[in-house]
Structure 1
């Protein structure tokens, strides 16, 4: 069983509440918790826990936008996404925790730099070509399964490429994240990655996740969306560096 000190346990609780409060209030920022938690919890344990938290949080947030879900889009995404999940399961089972941790650090820091660069001026970015959609779906399945997070970024690229409406984007993304997490969870269970430690940590983390979502629904931040995104980018960059050298 993982033996977390009192300060480490308090740190994890604060990270969970803060990240899910951000997700509950803005729909963005929840995945920033993964690299922060990976500083004190081994990746092999954390990834299955995060998958269960993703299922729970997505189900909690799904109700508001469920009428906008495009089932046709989900059915188009699932084949290539499932192939990505299979590759991700093999890599997750094959790679050791140290390489997974370093890979997550490189991924989140790289994305943090990219997203920070995207916040510069110059008007709206040109949407990606439609041909990139199946590649983005495959990467969502693979990356989400290997690291337990970041899949939503590739789903966002997919939906941006096929030009969905704002309502469809929010509703379908919530449904996709829940569906992907369920499939990933079944895969982790099949390869024996849902151990006692993961289940106990999920049970301990669930109340803090629900508290974060509850607060996020009720707390209005005075920070502008642009400033908020830049702060999240900075957190991703800074949290990724120690993971790469851990």
Structure 2
């Protein structure tokens, strides 16, 4: 049973996570998992949080569906991510080797730091990745998403090299999360991971979703395009640093 202070901390974490994703199109799950897993077991937290994240993605897609880059989503992102995600869901069932997240986090720190360096050195935006590189990174992102619901960093890194418009970037990723997380919830349902405990946790966090959408959408509207790109890479860097720190200093 969570204490009142633990509940308040979890709600604050989820609020910040939803603000972040409503503003830039990603980040909610990895922030919640890396910070919230200290308070709630990950196999309770994920089935409670992912259904709420679906509602956030659905809201973004419903309002901005005309901006979805359908060709890039269906031809480049989904096939590779889907294959990886199938493997990731299998690994989730046999024990979730969380130590692999340390290497994953270090890799993402290096990628995002490199992109921020380019931004602050006023270099041109990175060109789209070679097809074979993007396929590999998207597949790896799918594996991590199937295991932990937080494969976004690798997927975002690839998409960020291709989608430079902030609105198109946000809604295209929201569409992807909507599809992937719906599959995850069905997986949780079949596996019996959706329980009364996860439902109560979801209901507890629901007000944070509404507040996060309201604040995050206003932030998205106010962010200039060049500032948006800095925020994207910065969120990615912070999330990865938190991930690395959590695993390096875990008891």
Q: The TM-score by the shorter chain falls in which range?
A: 0.7 to 0.9
Q: Is the 8 A contact 1:38 1:243 kept in 2?
A: no
Give the direction of change, closer, same or farther, for the CA distance of 1:109–1:195 in structure 2 (3 Å limit).
farther
Q: What residue ranges of structure 2 are gaps of 5+ in the alignment?
A: none
TM-score w.r.t. length of structure 1: 0.80
Q: Is the 8 A contact 2:20 2:216 kept in 1?
A: yes
Give the direction of change, closer, same or farther, for the CA distance of 1:109–1:57 in structure 2 (3 Å limit).
farther
State the partner residue of 1:237: 241
Aligned length: 238
Q: Distance in 2 between matches of 1:94 and 1:82?
A: 19
State the partner residue of 1:197: 197
Q: What residue ranges of structure 1 are gaps of 5+ in the alignment?
A: none
Give the direction of change, closer, same or farther, for the CA distance of 1:11–1:159 in structure 2 (3 Å limit).
closer
Q: Is the 8 A contact 2:26 2:174 kept in 1?
A: no
The answer to whether 1:95 aligns with 2:95 is: yes
TM-score w.r.t. length of structure 2: 0.79
State the partner residue of 1:119: 116
User: 1:155 deviation in Å?
Assistant: 5.3
Q: Is the 8 A contact 2:84 2:139 kept in 1?
A: yes
Q: For residue 186 of structure 1, give the secondary structure of its aligned residue in structure 2.
A: helix
User: Could you report, residue by residue, the CA deviation over 1:30-85 in whole angstroms, capped at 9, with x for unpaired residues?
Assistant: 33232111121111112222321221110122233201224444443444333222
State the partner residue of 2:41: 42
State the partner residue of 1:140: 141
Q: Is the 8 A contact 2:143 2:151 kept in 1?
A: no
User: 1:94 deviation in Å?
Assistant: 0.5
Q: Distance in 1 between matches of 2:69 and 2:94?
A: 35
User: 1:109 deviation in Å?
Assistant: 4.9
Give the direction of change, closer, same or farther, for the CA distance of 1:105–1:51 in structure 2 (3 Å limit).
farther
User: Could you report, residue by residue, the CA deviation over 1:205-235 in whole angstroms, capped at 9, with x for unpaired residues?
Assistant: 121122111122335589x553785476245
Give the direction of change, closer, same or farther, for the CA distance of 1:214–1:143 in structure 2 (3 Å limit).
same
Kindly report the root-mean-square deviation, in angstroms, between the aligned alpha carbons of the 2 structures.
Answer: 3.0
Q: Distance in 2 between matches of 1:232 and 1:159?
A: 11
Q: Distance in 2 between matches of 1:215 and 1:141?
A: 29
Give the direction of change, closer, same or farther, for the CA distance of 1:239–1:176 in structure 2 (3 Å limit).
closer
Q: For residue 143 of structure 1, give the secondary structure of its aligned residue in structure 2.
A: helix
Q: Distance in 2 between matches of 1:41 and 1:144?
A: 19
